[in-house]
Structure 1
Amino acid sequence: MQGSAPQTFTIAEFLKWSDDKELNLNPKFQRGPVWAPPARSYLIDSIIRGYPVPKLLLRTSIDRDTRRTIRDVVDGQQRLRTIIDFAAGKFALTSKAGEYRGFRYADLEDEEKDAFLAYKLTCEQLINASDEDVLEVFLRINSYAVPVNGPELRNARFDNDFSSYVKELSHSIPHVWDLGVASNRERVRMVDHSTVAELLGFMIRGVAEGADSDITALYESQKETPLEGLPNRADFLDVMKITAELLKDYKNEAIASRPHFLMLAAAVLYSKGLLPQSRLTFDKVESAASMLLDMDSAIAAIGHLNTAIDTPVEDLDKRALPFIEARSSSQRIPSRQVRFEYFCHALAGKSFYDL
């Protein structure tokens, strides 16, 4: 089997190959078209904005009788089908495309059409490869694929004001991610979206359990809610600013991990009167009015909890033990209740040594 070095071809070239019947989107080893409208819109939006997209793999065969070059799509069929259908005006973009929502190809400005047609797709070609060779390559490509996770499934499934708001807010708080709440690798897999969705959920209905199915249920419950019915953006960003300030001395340390960050943010929400009571009770915490009066004392109390996390159990002050034990089921309400209470005490300037 002969391969080629990666090459680039413009979208205009692919459209011409499609018109000339020199591009086969349905070789026998390929899957059918299954992309939902949000995923298709996200791809076109990426192209319009000039972002890179994954490379394509083609099997290129030359027919010696007709002297025509036929290109079978080994990997990238859904991407190419989306591009061809958009260029033909077969669908309009959804809210995944931001300000291009509702646009068809004909609605683009002339300069945008030119840029779209001139956009270069990176391809690797298998020259005159046999069906067996191509099938082997196809199977190997798909065996390397990382399974789609919950946040990625929600990104593909939900296309509404709530999902768009989650995405926008996720990009508005880089100072939070810099703390180590979500790594760059996790953000690529949209864990930051799940974190923001949970925080909005806290503001909407109070703290719930945080399993993947619970977050999906939140998306489902908000799919008809208009933007104006969602939590206030300024309130959300203010809470994120305060929470990040409380963790500024503990960047990439255990206390800044996502499970702890969520419950610290819940305590800040409570202090601001922005946390509805649900399954989480407020019976054992100080009044909201007594919290965040002294940021330095609150930061120091959070530091004591951070130290406790890394302290061997046999050396641990027993007053911190419930907080440490609560980590074993970080998504469950009983665990979240315990950590919420400790963080509320900290915001009132009380270390666990004072309990």
Structure 2
Amino acid sequence: MQGSAPQTFTIAEFLKWDDDKELNLNPKFQRGPVWASPARSYLIDSIIRGYPIPKLLLRTNIDRDTRRTIRDVVDGQQRLRTIIDFAAGKFALTSKAGEYRGYRYSDLEDEEKDAFLAYKLTCEQLINASDEDVLEVFLRINSYAVPVNGSELRNARFDNAFSSYVKDLTRKIPFVWELGVISNRDRVRMNDHSTIAELLGFMMRGVAEGADSDITELYESHIETLESELPSEELFIQVMQTTSDLLADFKNEAISTRPNFLILAAAVMYSMGVLPEGRLAFAKVEEPGSMLNDRDLAVTAIGHLNTAIDTPAEDLDKRALPFIEARSSSQRMASRQVRFEYFCRALAGKSFYDM
């Protein structure tokens, strides 16, 4: 089997190959078209804005007698089908395309059409490869592909005011991600969207277990919700700024990672009077009026919890033990309740050493 170095071809070239019946989008080893409208719109939006997309893999057969070249799509069928369908005016873009929402190809400005047609797709070609060779390559590609996670599935499935609001808020709080709440790798896989969705859920109906199924149910329950019915952007960002300020001295440390950030943010919401009770019990925590009155004391108390996380068990102060044990509990709601109580005490300026 002969391969080629990566090459680039314009979208215009692919459209011509398709018109000339020299592009086969449905070789027998490929899957059928399954992309939903939001995913298709997101791809076209990336192209219009000039962002790179993953490379394609083609099997190129050259017939020496007819001098025709036929290209079978080994990997990238759904991307190419989306591009061809958009160029043919077969669908309009959804809100995933921002200000291009509702646009068809014919609605683009002339210069935008030119840029779209001139956009270069990176490809590798398998020259005159046998079916067995191509099937082997296809199987290898799919054997080490990373399975789609819940965040990515929700991004593809939901296209409404709630999902758009989550996406917008995610972009507007870079100071949260700079703390190391989730890794850059997790951000690439859209777990930042799940974090924001869960935090919005806290403000709307209180803290729940936070399982992936809970977050999906949150999206499902707000399919018809208008943005005006969601928590205000100003209030949400205020909560994020307050929480991030309390963790400013603990960037990339254990206390700033997602599980603790979420519950500290819930405690901040509680102190501001904007957290419904949900599945948490408020009976054992401080009164909101006693919290966040002294930032320095609160930061010191949070710092003590951060230190306790990294303290060997034999050296750990027993008063911190419930907080530490809660991290490894299989009972997620019980774990969140314990950490919520510790964080509320911290926001009242009380270290676990005062217990």
1:99 Cα offset (Å):
1.1
Over residues 209-249 of structure 1, what are the superposed CA-to-partner deviations in whole Å (9 max), with x where a residue is unaligned? Answer: 11111111111111111111111001111111111110011
Over residues 153-186 of structure 1, what are the superposed CA-to-partner deviations in whole Å (9 max), with x where a residue is unaligned? Answer: 1111111111111111111111111111011001
Q: Separation in 1 of the partners of 2:14 and 2:223?
A: 37
For 2:80, give the aligned amino acid.
Answer: L
Which residue of the partner structure matches residue 48 of structure 2?
48
Q: How many percent identity over aligned positions?
A: 83
For 1:348, give the aligned amino acid.
Answer: A
Runs of 5+ consecutive residues of structure 2 not aligned to the other structure: none
Which residue of the partner structure matches residue 296 of structure 1?
296
Which residue of the partner structure matches residue 127 of structure 2?
127
Which residue of the partner structure matches residue 60 of structure 1?
60
Report matched runs for 1:218-297 at 5 Å. 218-297=218-297
Q: Separation in 2 of the partners of 1:251 and 1:274?
A: 26
Report the 3-state secondary structure (helix = DSSP H, G, I; strand = E; otherwise coil) of the residue aligned with 1:70.
Answer: strand
149-158 or 324-333: which moved more? 324-333
Q: Separation in 1 of the partners of 2:236 and 2:52?
A: 31
1:273 Cα offset (Å):
1.0
| 2:213 maps to 1:184 | no
Which residue of the partner structure matches residue 17 of structure 1?
17
For 2:220, give the aligned amino acid.
Answer: E
1:144 Cα offset (Å):
1.4
Over residues 185-215 of structure 1, what are the superposed CA-to-partner deviations in whole Å (9 max), with x where a residue is unaligned? Answer: 0100111111101100000101011111111
Which residue of the partner structure matches residue 341 of structure 1?
341
Report the 3-state secondary structure (helix = DSSP H, G, I; strand = E; otherwise coil) of the residue aligned with 2:57.
Answer: strand
Q: Separation in 2 of the partners of 1:112 and 1:63?
A: 36
In angstroms, what is the RMSD of aligned CA positions?
1.0
| 2:239 maps to 1:216 | no
Over residues 285-329 of structure 1, what are the superposed CA-to-partner deviations in whole Å (9 max), with x where a residue is unaligned? Answer: 111111111111100000000111111222211111111111013
Over residues 235-294 of structure 1, what are the superposed CA-to-partner deviations in whole Å (9 max), with x where a residue is unaligned? Answer: 111111111110011111110110000000000011111101111111111111111111
Contact 1:211 1:331 in 2 (8 A): no
Over residues 124-154 of structure 1, what are the superposed CA-to-partner deviations in whole Å (9 max), with x where a residue is unaligned? Answer: 0111111111111111111110011111111
Over residues 72-113 of structure 1, what are the superposed CA-to-partner deviations in whole Å (9 max), with x where a residue is unaligned? Answer: 101000000000000000001111111111111111111111
1:330 Cα offset (Å):
7.4
Which residue of the partner structure matches residue 203 of structure 1?
203
Contact 1:330 1:336 in 2 (8 A): no
Report matched runs for 1:149-188 at 5 Å. 149-188=149-188
Report matched runs for 1:301-340 at 5 Å. 301-329=301-329, 332-340=332-340
Report the 3-state secondary structure (helix = DSSP H, G, I; strand = E; otherwise coil) of the residue aligned with 2:293.
Answer: coil
**Regions of 4+ moved over 4 Å:** none
Q: Separation in 1 of the partners of 2:170 and 2:331?
A: 20
Report the 3-state secondary structure (helix = DSSP H, G, I; strand = E; otherwise coil) of the residue aligned with 2:328.
Answer: helix
Contact 1:259 1:331 in 2 (8 A): no
260-269 or 278-287: which moved more? 278-287
Q: Separation in 2 of the partners of 1:274 and 1:215?
A: 20
For 2:241, give the aligned amino acid.
Answer: K
Q: Separation in 2 of the partners of 1:123 and 1:334?
A: 51
Q: Separation in 2 of the partners of 1:284 and 1:330?
A: 22
Q: Separation in 2 of the partners of 1:248 and 1:125?
A: 49
Q: Separation in 1 of the partners of 2:117 and 2:319?
A: 65
Aligned residues: 355
Report the 3-state secondary structure (helix = DSSP H, G, I; strand = E; otherwise coil) of the residue aligned with 1:121.
Answer: strand
Which residue of the partner structure matches residue 103 of structure 2?
103
Q: Separation in 2 of the partners of 1:331 and 1:179?
A: 27
Report the 3-state secondary structure (helix = DSSP H, G, I; strand = E; otherwise coil) of the residue aligned with 2:50.
Answer: coil
Q: Separation in 2 of the partners of 1:289 and 1:232?
A: 22
Report the 3-state secondary structure (helix = DSSP H, G, I; strand = E; otherwise coil) of the residue aligned with 1:180.
Answer: coil
Q: Separation in 1 of the partners of 2:24 and 2:236?
A: 49
Q: Separation in 1 of the partners of 2:338 and 2:131?
A: 60
286-295 or 296-305: which moved more? 286-295
For 1:76, give the aligned amino acid.
Answer: G
Which residue of the partner structure matches residue 26 of structure 2?
26
